Structure 1
Amino acid sequence: MKSITIDGSKRESVGKKATKALRNAGEVPCVLYGGDKPVHFSAPELAFSNLVYTPDAHTVVIALGNDKFDAVLQDIQFHPVTDKILHIDFYQLFEDKPIMMEIPVHIIGTSKGVLNGGVLRRNNRKLRVKALPKYLPDYLEADITPLKIGGKLYVTDLPQENFKIMHTENTVVCQVKRARAAIMTEIDEEEELEEGAEAATAEGAEGTAEATEATSSES
């Protein structure tokens, strides 16, 4: 998995006043968990743009002077009005300890159902995966080529090498649903067929009545 380096500085004070001063200076207060003790640090808000504002998954190298920590983003808080980053929690990675992480799903192929007028619905754009850090995938591939209208792709259909997808077997990744236009077309066709059948029945009934009437007249 690709990694992003965040250059930051350790925080000596973690009080409200110090935190407010950091934010006013364009810094984001952060905490790194998972080690012997939490590590408090800060970094410029722009340093997190490639980590936060992207659909891709990344691990992080947190560089604090001579100390470097491998980590993943665990939680993030935004301002409810301005959407500025208020706080970020990271979780430290260790080579011998599995980690769970949300991994994006990439769709590949062209569905037969979509080609026939169906609509692709993506039920889960990300899936939670458990693996050792070195085996964390950049993304999961979902091949929709075989999907017909009404078909579903489950997590069990995705390749899982050196990692485990932490969802139940019946979790749907994506599916091809029948488009409303296709449904309406079928309804119209059925109505036309019904009307045609009714007309044919009526014509047959009229013909039978005429034949009966003609036979009666001859008698």
Structure 2
Amino acid sequence: MLPRETIDTAQIPNGEELTLISHGRDFIIMLGRDELMGTRMQFSEEQLAELTIAELEEPAPNILIGGYGMGFTYRSALRHLPENGRVVVAEVVPEILEWAEGPLAELTGDTLKDPRGEIVICDVAALIDDANDGTCAKWDAILLDVDNGPDGIVRDGNQRLYSTTGLGKARDALKPGGVLAVWSAAPDHRFSKRLKEAGYVVDERIVRARPNNKGPRHSIWFARKR
């Protein structure tokens, strides 16, 4: 049996510690004893971007992604991005980008140099607030994959993203008809209800973790601004 080897650790601001682990040819990012993501199961995170972009009518969408992780959602967004579109990723842990350019460089490829994309070291909530106060343009889509679901397990501050107030701020940061997409490791009927109460038209889909229709079932909410 292949051993797991720790490559590096990183402290989440106002949160726990992340650990980057290698397991044979695969890599895993752990939060304590919980597996946040790994290279063996990335399909649903790629679908988060692909399916969201398919929902957009804007020919050159302005897309915000909360959380870089291993870059699955970001790379998928770049692959499916219409011409002249733009993707901004908000990531709070600087070491995540060091891993992307270091031990995960083969996985990353040259995507961090893509002129259509930008990685910003900040809380995604700050960029949502900037759109609301006019500091930056409104978004055609906001994609959230900063936790394992609509619960602030990675850092306490993330909880506000999924609150009624946070969902309202995300709605206001979207252009008319824009989409808030939230990835989750499991269903959450209370969150579905909260999205509807916040004024969204909600479509929840179940996506497998692997493209061969195997692996765990993950949930993605597509919440469209009325």
Q: TM-score range by the shorter chain?
A: under 0.3
TM-score (ref. length: structure 2): 0.19
TM-score (ref. length: structure 1): 0.19
Larger relative contact order (CA 8 Å, sep ≥ 6): 2
Larger of the two Rg values belongs to structure: 1
